[in-house]
């Protein structure tokens, strides 16, 4: 029981980090960034590259991957979203262009590393086992939970208390008014993408460390789960995304215990559909669900 709660907390933390980046871009720019799972995967591979080809220790590789993914986020915006924004194209176009980037990046990674699962060299990722009574808990997961919570608090601080956060909230409210009031809109958008993608990439690094495995399609299962997390919490609400992530983590671990394996995914999508029908604004959403 303790082990399962522990795993739920761990899975929820990874979902939360991933979904926060997704929700941040959606709340500020109304874009569903379908390349976010690709950033997740890219983070894991950037860390792998730094550890195997450059020989850096795991913690340096993790930090490096964080910044590489942040930079990738800015590039992604310039290539796939900025041109659409200039002609104020509808949201559908941004979904498709981020999908195009996904096709390209996933294939580039496969050309270098192939499409199969790969693992980190033995001993490259520290392993530490905690024993509490009968329960066997992996130490690295606890580290991930703590780190995720620290990062979530950090993001909350940035959004609520700093000038950048005020700029972002102004931008989310009304881009034109924000520009008129002297907000450096382009800088704020780049910052949004940097933070969003850096968090998404870091989530990928952490998951790869915890399971000691990575592959070019590891982001796909998270894409639909991130939708669930965001809808349950309220689209674009950052605290909502965190709450939604832990609800999903808990529910998934519980359904692994109580349901047959074929129904593993049923919880996530059943919950998603139910919330959309019963309460489209989610737990903490305040905006009307019928926005176009």
Partner 1 sequence: METLLEFFRTYATAIAVIGISALLALSVWLTLYAGQLTLGNAAFMGVGAYVSALLGRHLDTPFPLALLSGALAAAVIAVPLGVTVFRLRGVYLAIATLAFGEIVRVILLATPITGKGQGLNGIPPKTELWHIYLSLAVVAYVLWRVQGSTVGRAWAALREDELASASQGIDVRRFKLASFVIGALIAGWAGGLSAHLTFSIDPSDFGFSKAVQILVFAVVGGIPNVLGPIVGAVVFTALPEILRPLKDYRDIFQGLILLGVIVFLPRGLVTFLDVRRTRKLERIGAADVA
Long-range contacts of 276-279 (CB under 8 A, 24+ apart): 276/231
The residue among 239 and 280 lying less far from partner 1, judged by its C-beta, is 280
What residues contact 89, with CB distance under 8 A and at least 6 apart? Answer: none
279 binds partner 1 (CB under 8 A): no
5 binds partner 1 (CB under 8 A): no
116 binds partner 1 (CB under 8 A): no
The residue among 109 and 203 lying less far from partner 1, judged by its C-beta, is 109
The residue among 129 and 288 lying less far from partner 1, judged by its C-beta, is 288
What is the distance between the alpha carbons of residues 2 and 199, in angstroms, rounded to a whole number? 28
What is the distance between the alpha carbons of residues 19 and 244, in angstroms, rounded to a whole number? 9
Closest separation between CB of residue 6 and partner 1, Å?
27
The residue among 108 and 181 lying less far from partner 1, judged by its C-beta, is 108
Per the CB < 8 A criterion, the answer to whether 207 and 258 are in contact is: no
Burial class (CB in 10 A: 0-12, 13-18, 19+), 74: middle
Residues 231-250 that bind partner 1 (CB under 8 A): 231, 235
Residues 201-220 that bind partner 1 (CB under 8 A): 220
Chosen residue from 130, 132, 153, 289 binding partner 1 by CB under 8 A: 289
What is the distance between the alpha carbons of residues 282 and 242, in angstroms, rounded to a whole number? 12
181 binds partner 1 (CB under 8 A): no
Closest separation between CB of residue 168 and partner 1, Å?
20
75 binds partner 1 (CB under 8 A): no
Residue 254 has a CB neighbour count (10 Å cut-off) of 14
Per the CB < 8 A criterion, the answer to whether 266 and 257 are in contact is: no
97 binds partner 1 (CB under 8 A): yes
Q: Coil, strand, or helix at residue 182?
A: coil
Kindly provide the b/e burial profile for residues 92-128, where b requires at least 16 CB atoms within 10 angstroms of the residue's own CB: ebbeebbeebbeebbeebeeeeeeeebebeeebbeee
The residue among 24 and 47 lying less far from partner 1, judged by its C-beta, is 24
Q: Which residue has the tokens 């998603």?
A: 272
266 binds partner 1 (CB under 8 A): yes
Chosen residue from 227, 234, 238, 241 binding partner 1 by CB under 8 A: 227
Name the nearest CA neighbour of 149 among 242, 227, 19, 248: 242
Chosen residue from 60, 63, 89, 149 binding partner 1 by CB under 8 A: 89
Per the CB < 8 A criterion, the answer to whether 196 and 36 are in contact is: yes
Chosen residue from 71, 118, 276, 283 binding partner 1 by CB under 8 A: 276
Which residues lie near partner 1 (CB under 8 A)? 26, 32, 79-80, 83-84, 87, 89-93, 95-97, 99-104, 106-108, 111, 220, 223-224, 227-228, 231, 235, 260, 262-263, 265-266, 268-270, 272-273, 276-277, 280, 289-292
């Amino acid at each position: 029981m303790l082990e399962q709660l522990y795993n739920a907390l761990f899975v929820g933390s990874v979902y939360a980090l991933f979904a926060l980046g997704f929700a941040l871009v959606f709340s500020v720019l109304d874009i569903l960034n379908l390349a976010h799972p690709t950033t997740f995967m890219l983070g894991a591979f950037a860390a792998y590259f730094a550890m195997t080809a450059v020989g850096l220790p795991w913690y340096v590789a993790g930090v490096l991957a964080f910044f590489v993914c942040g930079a990738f986020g800015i590039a992604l915006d310039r290539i796939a979203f900025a041109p659409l924004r200039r002609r104020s194209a509808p949201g559908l176009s941004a979904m498709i262009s981020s999908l195009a980037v996904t096709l390209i990046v996933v294939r580039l990674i496969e050309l270098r590393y192939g499409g199969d699962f790969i693992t980190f060299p033995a001993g490259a990722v520290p392993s530490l086992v905690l024993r509490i009574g009968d329960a066997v808990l992996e130490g690295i997961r606890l580290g991930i939970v703590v780190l995720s919570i620290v990062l979530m608090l950090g993001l909350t601080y940035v959004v609520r208390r700093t000038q950048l956060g005020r700029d972002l909230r102004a931008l989310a409210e009304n881009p034109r008014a924000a520009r008129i009031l002297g907000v450096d809109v382009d800088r704020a958008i780049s910052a949004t993408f940097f933070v969003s993608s850096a968090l998404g990439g870091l989530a990928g690094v952490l998951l790869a460390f915890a399971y000691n495995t990575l592959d070019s399609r590891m982001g796909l299962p998270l894409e639909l789960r991130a939708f669930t997390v965001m809808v349950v919490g309220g689209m674009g609400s950052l605290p909502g995304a965190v709450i939604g992530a832990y609800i999903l983590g808990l529910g998934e671990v519980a359904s692994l215990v109580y349901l047959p394996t074929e129904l593993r995914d049923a919880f996530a999508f059943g919950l998603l559909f139910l919330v959309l029908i019963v309460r489209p604004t989610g737990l903490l959403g305040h905006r009307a669900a019928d926005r176009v």
